[in-house]
Amino acid sequence: MDNDKHTFKYQPMLASSVIVWSWTLLVLMAGIIVWLELLKFKWWFLLIAAVFVALVAVQISLRRVTINHNLIIFSTVLNHSWLVIPRDQLELIAPIRGGLKVQIDGNQYHFLMRKKARNALIELATSHY
């Protein structure tokens, strides 16, 4: 594989994912409750549904790992460079069940990733450039 620029999607580990997705589902549940209370179609039900769909799209699309020639960048929804790791300072990158474990400066970070993306990221991160 070449070392130009590669991007992979991830989700935070289980506890963080449950919290974040619960808040997202709260928007949907609030819309359903209001709709069932009124039992009439109002234009703002469509607005609540659009907000929910937008939140889901943002949650899925903005969490990504970008690896280029010498940096690994973990981006989150609100902070687009949450964790920036120079590849030469990477202490450990290892697969775990359902995800990936990264260690830098003694701090461990765990991420949920698909197996194919995880293996490609590990191969790119450990390859010599």
Cα separation of 23 and 101, whole Å? 25
Cα separation of 100 and 108, whole Å? 10
Q: What is the pLDDT of residue 48?
A: 87
Residues 6+ apart with CB under 8 A from 64: 7, 8, 9, 10, 74, 75
Residue 109's alpha-carbon distances to 2, 12, 92, 100, 128, in angstroms, are: 26, 9, 10, 8, 23
Residues 67-90 have pLDDT tens digits of 888 888 888 887 777 888 888 888
Surface-to-core class of residue 85, CB atoms within 10 Å of its CB (0-12 exposed, 13-18 middle, 19+ buried): buried
pTM of the predicted model as reported, rounded to 2 decimal places: 0.75
Cα separation of 95 and 82, whole Å? 21
Beta bridge partners of 67: 6, 72
Measured in degrees and rounded to the nearest 5, phi and psi for residue 2 equal -85, 165
Q: What is the pLDDT of residue 115?
A: 93
Q: What is the pLDDT of residue 44?
A: 79
